[in-house]
Copies of this chain bind each other. A is one copy, B any other.
Amino acid sequence: MNLKQLAHMLALSQTTVSRALNGYPEVNEETRRRVMDAAKRHGYRPNPSARRLATGKTGMIGYVLPTGASVDIDPHFVEFLSGLGDYARSHELDLVLSPADADDQETTYRRIVANRQVDAVYISSPRPADRRVALVNTLGIPFIVHGRSEGFDFDYAFTDIDNEGAFREAARLLIQLGHRRLALINGDDRETFAIHRERGVRRALVASGLTLAERHVCSVDMTEENGYRATRRLLEEDDAPTAIACSSLIMALGVVRAVRDLGLSIPGDVSLIAHDDVFPWLRPENFSVPLSTTRSSIRLAGARVAERLAARISGLEEGARGEVWPVDLVVRGSVAGAPG
């Protein structure tokens, strides 16, 4: 059932039927009702390919997925996706993932924009002066950055969490508990979120006349194994830190294992606070010693990004508004006063 048939069946022109269906004003309400009714009854659904060709609108949002044999997709992605999908569903939006060589995403961005394959895109895990952000900005497609980039001569729309504030508060708590030597086990420090977290810890220390020793900050891919290795290295040196801030729950698993392997205990010998993106399958309260966390649901962020993308597509949202969400500090058993 296509428009032509429907129009013929109603003894109307395609124009009128199209307009009636799309809510244009220049059609009699009575006629519109008839059309709507017939459309529903016959299960008419406009062919998206045709509509696309005519309007350029696709009803899809895009994400360029970096791939490659040695490229691992972050497990956070799936949670973000849950939120995004949940919102997108209610608005009949689909998400298209365009796989790209991790080292050459630009080609793919250009392709999806040139081909008008999607109405908007989002960018995640941005770095300072991220080229993707600059690119989509000049390409002129609506976009939202999940996280923040920095160092541009233009503004852009983003949704981020207050990573700096979160880690500042976490560090401050540890300092208040008497800790003087803090360590940070961070994610890839080329990414903005990691930079912000480090800054948060640094500022809290500086505010108390302390410093974050270079050798006490690790920047690694967020795997269990890396959490373990970093912790061993930290705790085996002289002047080992008495408290650790850690950028992910997965790494925290490794931290806990390392502490135990060294015959030490949490929080007796070392206090631990980790960032929790809220996974359904791994919860901080279920660690052998319940984990204190800075908590922010990445799923909610996904939903919010979808919401903003939808708003931009439909023209409801404009401008370069960035929003920064506060992060909860949840104190559980893994922190205590500094030993000794």
Which residues in A have some Cβ–Cβ distance to B below 8 Å? Answer: 45, 47-50, 52-53, 56, 58, 60, 65, 67-69, 71-75, 77-79, 81-82, 85-86, 88-89, 93-101, 111, 114-117, 221-225, 228, 250, 253-254, 257, 260-261, 279-283, 286-288
Complex formed: what's the CA distance from A116 to B72 in Å?
31
Contact assessment for B85 and A81 in the assembled complex, using a CB-CB cutoff below 8 Å: no
- Whole-angstrom distance between the alpha carbons of A88 and B28 in the complex? 48
**Residues in B whose Cβ lies below 8 Å from that of A81:** 65, 73, 97
User: Could you pull out 22 A-B pairs where Cβ atoms are within 8 angstroms?
Assistant: A45-B111, A47-B116, A49-B53, A49-B56, A52-B53, A65-B85, A67-B82, A68-B86, A72-B280, A75-B281, A89-B99, A94-B97, A95-B97, A223-B282, A223-B283, A224-B286, A225-B283, A228-B286, A250-B281, A250-B282, A253-B253, A253-B282
Residue of chain B at shortest CB distance from A46: B115
Q: Which of A58, A72, A116, A221 has the most CB of B within 10 A?
A: A72
Shortest Cβ distance from A223 into B: residue: B281
**Which 4 pairs across A and B sit closest by C-beta, in order of nearness?**
A85-B99, A89-B99, A67-B85, A223-B281
The one of B50, B71, B98, B260 that contacts A94, using a Cβ cutoff of 8 Å: B98
**In the complex, A71→B303 CA distance in Å?**
14
CA distance A100 to B71 in the complex (A): 28
Compute how far the CA of A49 lies from the CA of B49 in the bound complex, rounded to whole angstroms. 6
| Chain B residue contacts of A116, Cβ below 8 A | 47, 49
A60 CA to B86 CA, complexed, in Å = 22
Name the residue on B nearest A283 (C-beta).
B225
Q: Indicate whether A48 sits within 8 Å of B96 (C-beta atoms), given known contacts A82-B73, A89-B67, A288-B260.
A: no
- Say whether B281 contacts A72, CB under 8 Å: yes
Distance in angstroms between the alpha carbons of A96 and B63 in the assembled complex: 10
Q: Is the CB of A50 within 8 A of B53?
A: yes
Residue numbers in B under 8 Å from A253 (CB-CB):
253, 282
Which residues in B have their C-beta under 8 angstroms from that of A77?
78
Whether B283 lies near A261 (C-beta < 8 A) is no
Chain B residue nearest to A287 in the complex (CB): B257
A168 to B178, CA, bound (A): 54
How distant is A229 from chain B, measured CB to nearest CB, in Å?
A: 10
Residue of B nearest to A52 (CB): B49
Q: Is the CB of B224 within 8 A of A283?
A: yes
Question: Which residue among A49, A75, A224 has the maximum number of chain B CB atoms within 10 Å of its CB?
Answer: A49
A323 to chain B, nearest CB (A): 22
Residues of chain B lying within 8 A (CB to CB) of residue A99: 85-86, 88-89, 93-95
A45 CB to closest chain B CB (Å) equals 7
B-chain residues with CB within 8 Å of residue A72 when the two chains form the complex: 82, 280-281
**Complex Cα spacing A58 to B53, Å:** 13
Closest to A48 in B: B115
A85: B residues at CB distance < 8 A: 65, 67, 73, 97, 99
User: What's the nearest-Cβ distance from chain B to residue A329, in Å?
Assistant: 22
Chain B min CB distance to A294 (Å): 20
- CB pair A75–B73 under 8 Å, yes or no, is no
Alpha-carbon distance between A48 and B49 when the two chains are bound, in angstroms = 9
Identify the interface centre among A47, A71, A78, A101: most chain B CB within 10 Å of its CB.
A78
